[in-house]
Chains A and B, each alone.
Chain A
Amino acid sequence: MARTATARTLDALIARREATRGLLIAFEGPDGSGKTTQRKLLKKWLESRGDEVVSTRWASSPLVKPLLKVRKKIRALSTEEYSLLHAVDFRHRLETSILPALWAGKTVLADRYLFTALARDAARGLELDWLLHAYSPLLWPDLVIYFAMTPEDSRRRIASTRSPRYYQAGQDVTGIEDPLASYGRFIDRVVTEYENLSLIFKFVTVDAGEAVYRQHTRVRELVAAAEKRPWPAFSMDAVEEWIGKSKPPHA
């Protein structure tokens, strides 16, 4: 079907923005893999170069963070509700924080992106197809850095710092009373799902077992060499819908 004049105007607007829009970099990996440390180091480095950087964290949308926090605390969520509320969080941050920042030319560092939901929820037994559908239309990151570590290492690191929380430990699906034992079982599934996703979505892997400064050097190299994944080819629906909802600045 031929596209309407309005749709063609939108296409042209998005194509023009491609040259000046910011880069979207996602940090993924199991708990304890050092994503947050590396994200903070990269942010400082980028800012020292004069880049404008925005960070966004998982489950941090002001719209649902309070109600999600309470329901997690009282363990009131089923697998579907847990998954859907995280999809709400993601969609809201995408529309109100990530896309506006990218449009304005800022670099966005996502401390976990939708792949976290895909890995965790698939590990909980939900279909990947349905999950991808719930998160669509997808805004593809330009670079996904996956901090790889074995389930045993993740469990060891978590055990040395804190006791995992109920849903983090996957106790809702394993039924194991001991949080750490449950985490050991659950993270095994999560890492398997991450490894599958890594092949499908072409993650760039960094060895989370290496020294922090070595990882940072590698991350810098990856970011310096990163190329934009063209919006018109990969993320048109997500960008168009956002523009349709709220006129972006400098349009």
Chain B
Amino acid sequence: MDRQIQTAARLIAVDGSRGADLARSADRLAAALRAQGVECVISRWDASGLFGELAQTSDRTSASPRTLSLVYAADLAFRLRWEIRTALGAGTVVIAAPYVETAIAFGAGCGLPEQWLRELLRFAPRPDVQCLARERKRDRGWQPRLDRGYPEYCAALFAPSSPRLVSKRAREGMIGALAAAGGRRGYELSGSGVERAVTAIRRSRPAAASPRPSRPRIARK
């Protein structure tokens, strides 16, 4: 029984408002899973290299929140194709950090309609377990940097033209939206939260048994 649970594929989403904390939480969760003999991989943002290349263009600062949300969706489609679905197909637990909620919370924090963001990203399958990586030192705020997480990257691009987009309000909006999303069905990855998440992952239904995602695709011969 135990062996069967360990080999079943599951998709775990880890979302958060600060890249470093999110990466650290994903690493801790992966280590805790591996310590219990559960094989897992981490899928991180910009696996496609789109954001990295975009940061090298001269027009990078003219990108809007909506434009960057579309780039995020393209990157997520890449991750699903090359990392997430491949690993799930091989019966591995996949930790997607960040996943859908980070992009929705950041977009909504910048004033985009949440419904638009959810519909845009509906090709992504629902995670089996949703986790939240809270900011460890919330008073410090973000450092807008291209080499950190998705929110910091966007903040670094917006800063020269629209400083208000990196204002406290946008960031607080994101933190609030993530907390609300996490509160509905998520596990907070701090303190004993990691252990609770591991238990939930082991008890959750395997990915193959979960409802199919709503893909923007129709059958065609």
Chains A and B bind each other: yes
Residues from chain B with a CB closer than 8 A to the CB of A53 are none
Q: Is A48 an interface residue (CB 8 A)?
A: no
Per the CB 8 Å criterion, the residue count for chain B at the interface is 34
Complex-state Cα separation, A166 to B40, whole angstroms: 36
Interface residues of B in 32-83 (CB under 8 A from A): 48, 50, 53-54, 57-60, 62-67, 70-71, 73-74, 77-78, 81
Do residues B77 and A81 form an inter-chain contact, with CB atoms below 8 A?
A: yes
CB distance from A240 to the nearest CB of B (A): 11
Stretch at the interface among B89-97, B114-122, B201-209: B114-122
Q: Which of B18-26, B134-142, B182-190, B212-220 contacts A (4 or more CB under 8 A)?
A: B212-220
CA distance A66 to B217 in the complex (A): 27
A67 to B55 Cα, complex, angstroms: 11
- Output the nearest chain B residue to A96 by Cβ-Cβ distance: B62
Contact of A127 among B62, B65, B116, B217 (CB under 8 A): B217
Residue contact B64 to A133, C-beta cutoff 8 Å:
no
Cβ-defined contact, B119 with A133, below 8 A? yes
Q: Does A161 contact B (CB under 8 A)?
A: no
Residues of chain A within 8 A of B218, CB atoms compared: 125-127
Most B CB atoms within 10 A — which of A67, A173, A241, A244? A67
Also in contact, A87 and B70, with CB within 8 A (given A63-B60, A80-B123)? yes
Closest-CB distance, B44 to chain A (whole angstroms): 17
Contact B81 A84 (CB under 8 A): no
Residues of B within 8 A of A20 (CB): none
Of the listed residues A62, A87, A244, the one surrounded by the most CB atoms of chain B closer than 10 A to its CB is A87
Q: Is the CB of A127 within 8 A of B64?
A: no
Q: Is the CB of B120 within 8 A of A134?
A: yes
CA–CA, A64 to B62, complex, Å?
Answer: 12
Residue A91 interfacial (CB < 8 Å): yes
Partner of B67, one of A66, A95, A125: A95
Binding site for B on A (CB under 8 A): 61-64, 66-67, 78-81, 84-85, 87-88, 91-92, 95-96, 125-127, 130-131, 133-134, 136, 173, 241, 244-246
Can you give 23 A-B contacts (C-beta < 8 A)? Answer: A62-B57, A62-B58, A63-B59, A63-B60, A63-B67, A64-B71, A66-B57, A78-B78, A81-B78, A84-B70, A88-B70, A88-B74, A92-B59, A95-B62, A96-B59, A125-B217, A131-B216, A133-B120, A134-B73, A134-B120, A136-B116, A173-B220, A245-B65
Interface residues of B (CB under 8 A from A): 48, 50, 53-54, 57-60, 62-67, 70-71, 73-74, 77-78, 81, 111, 116, 119-120, 122-123, 161-162, 216-220
